[in-house]
Amino acid sequence: MRAQADRLRALALLALVAALGTSAFAQTDFFGRVVSGADGAPVAAVKVAAELRGVNRDAGATDAEGRFRIDPSSLFGVQRRIGEPFMLFFSKSGFLTVSRQLQIGATPTEIRATLTPESEAVLEPAERERLDRLVRGGARGPLFLVPYDLPAEAANLSAAASTERLRANLERAIVTHVQSNSLISTGGAVGLSLLPLDAVKDVARLKSYGAHLKALAVITGFGALEDSGGRKQIVMSSTYVVVPTVASIDSFVIYVDDTLPADQLASPRLQERLSKLWGRTTVLALGMNEFRDARAAGDQARLRRVREYLRAERAGAGPGNDQFVTQLNRLIALLDREIRP
Amino acid sequence: MRVLVALFATLALATPTMAGEIVGFQPGKPAAPVLQQTKLRAVIADFLDPGGSGMGNAISLIIWREVLTAIADQAGAGVILAKAPGNRPLVDLLQERYHEAALDAARSQAARMAVWGSVEEHDGRLFVSTYLSIIPDARSAELMLRLEGQPPLGADVAAEIPHSRLNLPLVETKRQSLLQRSVVMRNGAVIRKRPDSRAAEVTRPAVGSALEVSDLVDGWFKVDVPNLGPGYVHHSVVDVPPQLVDVRGATTRLSSAPGGRAGSPVPPGSYRVVNMRYAGGSGLSYEIAVSGARGWVLATAVRPRFSLPVVHLVAGLYRYQLGRYAEARGEFEQYLASPGVDTDNASLAMVYQLLGASQVVGKDALSLRSASAPPIEAFTRAIELTPYDPAAYNLRAVAVLALRGRLGEMLPDLAKATDLDPDNPRARSLITLLNRVTTTGEPSGLRRLVADANDRQVRDEVARLARRADGPSQ
């Protein structure tokens, strides 16, 4: 009798554990492991960040086995939408940051992320030669645009035409923003050259391009079509990778997401919005050069001017520019340490 | 570096005060500057048109004609429309070097500034980006806040208005909204069947009559001639009034003729301009449509509203540089009242500085003491927008000196300017001058202006800043 009761209790406990386990599992949309590209070993303490609908959240870190679990609904406090784009970022000092563009699915998704050690972040020789040819062929830099990965049916222009239009508009906005800014001495012309490559979503690869080209920044983006109440719309994410020029600042990436009617891809308003932020981000990147040069020269006044500029940018950043403000804060904190009272 | 040169000068407009020319630019050709008899010139360059909307030329032409209208009363002012044969070289240069190419275009004509931009059409709407590039030399020569007084205050009581490359807001409009306007016939105006000088004549309208425009094709306005239908008139034989005028306050009166006896008051609001005319004695008048009726108002009693904000900014800069400060202020206010002007901090800061300066310069500094706070507010707004710029602090310091007459109130700004740039020549010379005033009482004009020159704390602070300014350059 007692043995039967024990068995029943054990069964009930098992059922409870199973139920709890299933429930916990059902709430986890993404889980997986982060390993090193060098030897395949799990990497612990990798910072995991997530981005949903333009909002970024810290999603914890990998455990000793390199494992992580993320439930976007609870992390962002929103209702789950099947098919919605979702970004994950894995970063750890000494490794190139990896991002993954995902979609929220009906069932949990397992992810394996491989971190490339910075020292091994090299390009294939053929790819390097291709980039070198572009530079020899007159690519202007120090900004480079990798073609956006856009669904063909979303553009009301050919892919080549819309890419070139985007490049021309972004370049004009960025360069005129830099030219009108008396703070920044560019030490030469600023131009945005198109890299005629296939679209690249891998931020680590974009950083490698930037490092190889000695670029200030590499810009790209992608879009996905979705159906919203019978209307086609495009969810577009643009990526601005700033290549570091200050040793104490890692390279950083700023993302801008837009959702717009599919036929509005070439809308000048969208391009204006992107251009404005990219112009400011470019000045921020050039500000890093100023910081580096002023620090090397021991020029306190110049450091103060850069700090005032960054503070003004922070004050005027407006909502929805969290990543931009985060980078501003990092740079301002560095300046605070350098500037004598 | 490729050189921009004038290829040909084709058009001299009939009204002497409306000095406009069209030039073509081509790399590698000898320069042929035009409008050299005018003291102050601006270049309007063909707009970039990356999507092939066909509106690039039309927009630059409209801006050119509107600027001409806006400065028609300014003796010594000229506007040059810079076109490229085949439209390519100048546009290509602008596309590669932006403000720098525009400045080259301005320099080749000894002009002080260049307007350029880009237009795109999307879903039936036009998106116009506009830029203004000011020759830096012109900026230091005339775009200054310089105090005046009796006895003279000395040339050092001044500050530069610093920026020279302005990025103006994106304007969203429609082709029809931009073109829907009246044009006023000049002597020699001929309406033709097609936009071609060899096409058959439709009619020769009376000088001063106005016709409604519905399109602009290769420099020809398409107009509707009553009882005769559509036709085309070349832009060189018409005047182009502003599309609207704003009436503020209750003092504007409607007349039955230009410069005629004032009649009924016009309620505040915006009114469509249907004609404009100069009348001896009273100057320019606009004919406007008010509640279905028409009548004339004096141009001095209203504020014109042009199709793009850049026209107001350029008109203000002309007036400022020609010493017409009160009118310049009105134009800067019209610019700042345009939607979306807060898109570029450095550019907006410059307009606020111009607005503040236009209320201070050209007057005896002592007479400004009764002025209220607005000029200082404008300079403060500029500092908020560009707190990293030493020139912004110098400007407010000079304005505070004029409006408050207290060194103690201007010294923090000079300290901040030298904090940001110890070598800043303007801040250093101002500090040196103030040190002279507090120690010797000279120059007497400036001494007369300040009330706290004997204040011990003020003298100590001036001396401290002067020691820092006299120190080795960093």
Residue B60: band (very low, low, confident or very high) from pLDDT cuts 50, 70, 90: very high
Q: At what angle do helices B425-440 and B407-420 cross, to 10 degrees?
A: 150
Domain range A122-338, CATH class: alpha beta
What is the domain-level CATH number for residue B362?
1.25.40.10
Give CA angle at B100 (B98, B105), nearest 5°.
Answer: 95
Residue B400: the pLDDT is 93
**Would you give the end-to-end CA distance of chain B in angstroms?**
33
- Answer with the residue of higher pLDDT: A177 or B401: B401
Chain B residues whose CB is inside 8 A of the A181 CB are 346
Whether residue B456 lies inside any domain: the answer is yes
Domain around B289: 244-305
Predicted confidence (pLDDT) per residue in B38-52, tens digit: 778 899 988 888 878
Kindly state the DSSP code that residue B235 receives in the 8-state scheme. G
A56–chain B nearest CA distance, Å: 25
pTM: 0.79
Q: Is the dihedral of CA A77, A78, A81, A83 positive or negative?
A: negative
Is B388 within 8 Å of A309 when comparing Cβ atoms? yes
Q: pLDDT-derived band of residue A232, with 50, 70 and 90 as boundaries?
A: confident
Q: What percent of chain A has pLDDT over 70?
A: 80
Q: Which position has the higher pLDDT, A186 or B268? A: B268
Of A262-276, B105-119, B215-229, B396-410, the poorest mean pLDDT is in: A262-276
Q: Are residues B46 and B144 in the same domain?
A: yes
Please judge whether B167 and A177 are an interchain contact, meaning their C-beta atoms are less than 8 angstroms apart. Answer: yes
At A188 the three-state DSSP class reads coil
Pick from B138, B172, B206: which residue ends a domain? Answer: B172
* Minimal Cβ distance to A308: which of B100, B167, B387: B387
Is residue B246 within 8 angstroms of chain A, CB to CB? Answer: no
On whether both B368 and B447 belong to a single domain, the answer is yes
Cα of B127 to nearest chain A Cα, Å: 7
Element of type H or E holding B104: helix B99-108
Looking at the structure, tell me whether residues B146 and B248 fall in a common domain.
Answer: no
Q: Chain A within 8 Å of B343 (Cβ-Cβ)?
A: yes
Residue B389 to residue A168, Cβ atoms within 8 A? no
Q: DSSP per residue over B336-388, as a string? A: HTSTTGGG-HHHHHHHHHHHHHHTTTTSBGGGGGG--SHHHHHHHHHHHH-TT
Q: Are residues B11 and B133 in the same domain?
A: yes
Lowest mean pLDDT among A187-191, A244-248, B126-130, B355-359: A244-248
At A187, is the secondary structure helix, strand, or coil?
coil
Q: How confident is the model at residue A270 (pLDDT cuts 50, 70, 90)?
A: confident
Residues B93 and B110 in one domain: yes
Interface predicted TM-score of the whole assembly (ipTM), two decimals? 0.80
Q: Are B41 and B33 in contact (CB under 8 A)?
A: no
Nearest CB to B388; choose among A169, A179, A312? A312
Question: A174 and chain B: CB distance < 8 Å anywhere?
Answer: no
B209 and B97 in one domain?
Answer: no
Report the distance separating Cα B373 and Cα B379, nearest Å.
10
Q: What is the CATH classification number for the domain harbouring B216?
A: 2.30.30.40
Confidence of residue B76 (pLDDT cuts 50, 70, 90): confident
User: Can you identify the CATH homologous superfamily of domain A26-118?
Assistant: Carboxypeptidase-like, regulatory domain (2.60.40.1120)
How far is it, in rounded angstroms, from Cα B264 to Cα B275?
A: 19
Q: Does B99 touch chain A (CB under 8 A)?
A: yes
Structure tokens given for B126: 């036009």
Tell which of B127, B151, B172 closes a domain: B172
CATH number assigned to the domain comprising residue B26: 3.40.50
Residues 6+ positions from A265 with CB-CB distance below 8 Å: A150, A154, A155, A156, A157, A162, A223, A234, A236
**Mean pLDDT, chain A, integer:** 78
Lowest mean pLDDT of A185-199, B224-238, B299-313, name the range. Answer: A185-199
Residues B117 and B33 in one domain: yes
Task: Say if A70 is an interface residue toward chain B (CB within 8 Å).
Answer: no
In a domain, B401, yes or no: yes
Which residues face B192 on adjacent strands?
A: B201, B232
Q: How confident is the model at residue A23 (pLDDT cuts 50, 70, 90)?
A: very low
Residues B141 and B51 in one domain: yes
Residue B137 in 3-state DSSP? helix
Task: Tell me if B312 sits within 8 A of B63, measured CB to CB.
Answer: no
**Contacts A–B by Cβ distance under 8 A:** 86
More confident residue, B43 or A153: B43
A106-144 residue pLDDT tens: 788 888 888 876 645 667 778 878 888 877 777 777 889
Same domain, B123 and B199: no
Query: Residue B84 pLDDT more than 90?
Result: no
Strand partners, B364: B148
Alpha-carbon distance B52 to B178, whole Å? 17
What is the pLDDT confidence band of residue A79, given thresholds at 50, 70 and 90?
Answer: confident
**Residue of A158, A181, A194, A265 to mutate when probing chain B, most B C-beta within 10 A:** A181
**Average pLDDT over every residue of A230-250:** 76
Contact yes or no for A180 and B170 at CB 8 A = no
Q: Which of A165, A176, A299 sits opposite B51 (nearest CB)?
A: A165
Q: Do A177 and B344 count as a contact with CB atoms less than 8 A apart?
A: yes
Q: What pLDDT, on a 0 to 100 scale, did the predictor assign at position B394?
A: 97
Cα separation, B434 vs B441, in Å, equals 9
Q: Do B419 and A304 touch (CB under 8 A)?
A: yes
State the sign of the Cα–Cα–Cα–Cα dihedral B190, B192, B195, B197: negative
Instruction: Decide if A316 touches B, using CB distance below 8 A.
Output: yes
Strand, coil or helix: A233: strand
pLDDT at B275: 96
Selection from A211-225, B44-58, B197-211 with the highest mean pLDDT = B197-211
Q: Which residues of A touch B165 (CB under 8 A)?
A: 176, 179-180
Judged by CB atoms closer than 8 Å, whether chains meet at A165 and B50 is answered as yes
Give pLDDT, residue B136.
80
The tens digit of pLDDT for each residue in B333-375 reads: 999 999 888 878 889 999 999 999 999 988 877 777 766 667 8
Query: Where a domain ends, among B252, B280, B305?
Result: B305
A158 to chain B, closest Cα gap in Å: 12
Overall average pLDDT of the B306-332 stretch? 94
What is the pLDDT at residue A76? Answer: 84
pLDDT digits (tens, 9 = 90+) for B275-295: 999 887 778 899 999 988 899
- Number of folded domains that form chain B: 4
| Amino acid residing at A322 | D
The residues spanned by each domain of chain A are 26-118, 122-338
Query: Do B208 and B330 have their domain in common?
Result: no
> What pLDDT is attached to residue A274?
76
The mean pLDDT of A154-181, rounded to a whole number, is 76
> Considering only alpha carbons, which residue of chain B is nearest residue A192?
B96
Looking at the complex, does the CB of residue A165 fall below 8 Å from at least one CB of chain B?
yes
Q: Is the pLDDT of residue A228 over 90?
A: no
Q: Is A340 on the interface with B (CB under 8 A)?
A: no
- Residue A243, min C-alpha distance to chain B (Å): 24
C-alpha distance from B437 to closest chain A C-alpha (Å): 28
- Both B127 and B227 in one domain: the answer is no
Instruction: Report the alpha-carbon distance of residue A287 to residue A311 in Å, rounded.
Output: 12
For A48-68, the pLDDT digits (tens) are 988 887 777 888 899 988 999
Mutate: best of B120, B121, B388, partner A, most A CBs <10 A = B388
User: Does A272 touch chain B if contact means CB atoms closer than 8 Å?
Assistant: yes
Please check the confidence at residue A16 and state whether its pLDDT lies above 50. Answer: no
Query: What would the mean pLDDT of B71-85 be, rounded to a whole number?
Result: 80
Write the CB contacts of A60 (distance below 8 Å, at least 6 apart in sequence): A48, A68, A70
CA distance B241 to A171: 35
Within a domain: residue B413? yes
**Are B355 and B422 in the same domain?**
yes
Please name the residue of chain A whose CA is at the shortest distance from the CA of residue B51: A165
**B48 contacts on A by Cβ (under 8 Å):** 172
> Which site among B310, B345, B426 would you substitute to test the A interface, given the most A Cβ atoms closer than 10 Å to its Cβ?
B345
pLDDT tens column, B130-171: 999 998 875 556 788 988 888 778 778 899 998 889 999 899
- Answer yes or no: is B323 within a domain: yes
Structure tokens at B276: 């404009």
